[in-house]
Amino acid sequence: MTVRAGGFRRDALIAVAALVVLLALPYLWQSSAMVDFVIRLSAYALLATSLNLLVGYAGMTSFGHGMFFGLGAYALGLSMQRLSIPLPLAMLLSLVFVGLVAVVIGAISVRLKEIYFAFITLAFQMLIYSVIIAWVPLTGGDQGLQGGIPRPPFLGIRLDQTSHLYVFSAVMLVTALLLMRVIAQSPFGYSLRLIRDNVDRASFIGVDVFRIRLTVFVLAAMFGSLGGMILALFVSGAYPEFANWTQSGEAIFMVMLGGTTTFLGPTLGAAILLSLNDVVTRFTEHHGLAMGILILVVVLGLRKGVTDVLAQWWQERKVS
Amino acid sequence: MNPGELLSCLGSSSCVVTQLASGLIIGLLLFLVAAGLTLIFGVLGVINFTHGAFYMMGAYFAYTAYGLSDSYAVAVLAGGIGVALLGLVFERFFMRRVYGSNVLMQLLVCYAFILIFDDLVKIVWGPEYKSMGMPDMFRVPPLFLGGGVVPVFYLFLILVSLAIGAALWFVIARTRAGKVVRAAAANPTMLSALGTNTGLVYAGVFALGAGLAGLAGALAAPVRSVSSGMGFSILIESFIVTVIGGMGSIVGALVGALLIGLVRTFGSIGFPLFTDGLMFLFMTIILIVKPSGLFGKDV
């Protein structure tokens, strides 16, 4: 496979077009439910797509990606509450913090193979979760971060207004997706695929497997934490559930549901799962049971994601 | 953080005996769960993330059986056998379908079943915590050893867990069935070429591993509050145990579980808020020094 010239220009055009559509949407369809949905989707699409950098591109199935989502939410909330610094600075600080945590956890985890890697990331997630629950003076324990997150205006942007937060989330989503796309299509992104497909060959031709795996682990953690920050700004708080293992499970399902082989698959998966979640919560209180059965149907019945099926169909059509 | 208190505990025999006893039961129950996990991994090559849910189901089955029969022995058997059957059904109808698939699919099937089991027990048994209560035969004054207090039930748990562990070792190391299981772990293709139904071996091993988790849940039911989601922390702990001991090694599971049990009880005196952290620290050190675990062959 060759890196197509002009690939970036095409991706950037798509990104600009998507952003225009997203920004025009509230004028065409005035619905607060839609606005809320897009903000939440921005958060979860970033979580799912960053996880797919690991799962789909690098072949590293993390079962603990939700921890960075939660850490991002807490880091942003705490730095806004305690440091009273402008939001962009707080976000930068949170990104650096999550990056550092990811370096430590990644350095221990990424040397492990497949299922081991999945389990150790899950274990670290539970460590982070139990620290959040136990460190009550800092995090508020199981009650979550109390008192709301202050969102002072910066550059005329007032994130305490939903319409401003909507624009902010949409811009964040599209920019971060474009950045991840660039990473995925870069030589670095192709080393990831090489490692995924044949780790021995990769190391024989001189690829530093450990370093590349650690790098993508940290990058994915930072993009995932950005999702957590958007959610924290939206609900004006951070809760232990953000860092709970079910968050990682849902993220994995979003990735699988949308498809691992296309870049936008996880975003679609996030959109589908968020909608399904809303429907399931409306009709039954047994959310786990319904969701569990749904996952089984998709995993054992469909066996691949929506965009995987579409991409396959497209390929076959082109060939015939 | 209070390392001084830990030192003063280590200085008094009564404190050491008391902590040792509770460390041993935590460790030995953990060993049963981890032995099941490591057995399934060793033979089938999959990590059963629903293992904690099996532990929970064992406790619930025991709770119900104890309520019906008023016999702790029946309750323990119901937990063990009931969960073994549950594991069999789970393996035959669901897990078997994703052996060849990638890790993503295996994770999702397990994730789905953790959600389902956690919700099912809430539907069947109600959302509130259940308490089985101490069986009558153990309602006797505790023993005093070297000034420390050791409840008779603890002693019973220690002996039973050790007996189960010994039986497990005997079956795997000394019987024909154990030989088949070891052969399936070493080279399943050759084994099936020689005329053994490996699918059946897999199902049996999975049921045995699940049964061990159920047994541990049932044994622990009198001293734990039975609730939805109770299996999750034991899943993480048994994973840490298998990392320390070496994935696939039952001796390693025993050593790792005892270590974790002692780290938990003594650590809770010296570093009450950091007990979980201590376990992870321990695991991290092992991963760096000997990535395959103390008794593992290779990762």
The DSSP string of A55-122 is: IIIT----S-THHHHHHHHHHHHHHHHHH---HHHHHHHHHHHHHHHHHHHHHHHTTS-HHHHHHHHH
Farthest-apart Cα atoms in chain A, separation: 64
Which residues of chain A make contact with B291, given a CB cutoff of 8 A? 111-112
| Cβ within 8 Å, pair B47-A287 | no
Contact B112/A at CB under 8 A = yes
Question: Which secondary-structure segment (H or E) carries B150?
Answer: strand B148-150
A40-50 pLDDT, tens digit each: 999 999 999 99
Gap between the Cα atoms of B243 and A118, Å rounded: 13
Beta bridge partners of A37: none
| pLDDT level of residue A1 (50, 70, 90 thresholds) | very low
- A234-292 pLDDT, tens per residue? 998 889 889 888 899 889 989 988 888 889 989 999 999 999 888 888 888 888 898 89
Structural domain for A51, as ranges: 7-243
Task: For residue A158, tell me if it sits in a domain.
Answer: yes
% of chain B surpassing 90 pLDDT: 44
Contact A296 B240 (CB under 8 A): no
pLDDT at position B22: 87
A134 in contact with chain B, both atoms CB, cutoff 8 A: yes
How far A234 CA sits from the closest chain B CA (Å)?
Answer: 27
Q: Is residue A284 in some structural domain?
A: no
Identify the band that residue B52 occupies on the pLDDT scale cut at 50, 70 and 90.
Answer: very high
The count of domains in chain A is 1
Domain membership flag for residue A148: yes
Bridge partners (DSSP) listed for residue B145? B148
| Residue A38 is assigned to a structural domain of this protein | yes
pLDDT digits (tens, 9 = 90+) for B221-244: 998 888 888 888 899 899 889 889
The four Cα atoms A258, A270, A122, B98 give a dihedral, to 10 degrees, of -30
Q: Which of B46, B104, B206 has the alpha carbon at shortest distance from A299?
A: B104
Residue A119 covered by a domain: yes
| pLDDT over threshold 90, residue B53 | yes
Put simply, whether B287 touches A (Cβ < 8 Å) is yes
Chain B residue nearest residue A301, CA to CA: B97
Strand partners, A4: none
Closest chain A residue by Cα to residue B115 = A288
Residue A210 lies in a domain: yes
**Percent with pLDDT over 70 in chain B:** 98
pLDDT in tens, A200-225: 888 898 888 999 999 999 999 999 99
B 171-230: CB under 8 A from A: none
Does residue A1 fall inside a structural domain? no
Query: Looking at residues B78-91, what average pLDDT do you find?
Result: 96
Q: Supply the pLDDT for residue B206.
A: 95
**Contact criterion met (CB below 8 Å) for A243 and A128:** yes
Query: Which pLDDT score is estimated for B121?
Result: 93
CA dist B147 and A256 (Å) reads 58
pLDDT digits (tens, 9 = 90+) for B171-212: 988 999 999 999 998 888 899 999 888 899 999 999 999 999
**To the nearest whole angstrom, how far is the Cα of B154 from the nearest Cα of chain A?**
27
Locate tokens 């270590």: which residue? B259
Strand residues in A147-247 grouped as ranges (E): none
Taking 50 as the threshold, does the pLDDT of residue A72 lie above it? yes
Give tens-digit pLDDT for B99-120: 877 888 888 899 999 999 999 9
pTM of the model: 0.89
pLDDT over 90 at B6, yes or no: no
Asked if pLDDT for residue A4 goes beyond 60, the answer is no
Distance CA B108, CA B64 (A): 30
Average pLDDT across chain A, whole number: 88
Q: How confident is the model at residue A6 (pLDDT cuts 50, 70, 90)?
A: low
Helix (H, G, I), strand (E, B) or coil at B138: helix
Residue A258 lies in a domain: no
- Whole-number Å distance between alpha carbons of A35 and B43: 51
Banded pLDDT at B299 (limits 50, 70, 90): very low
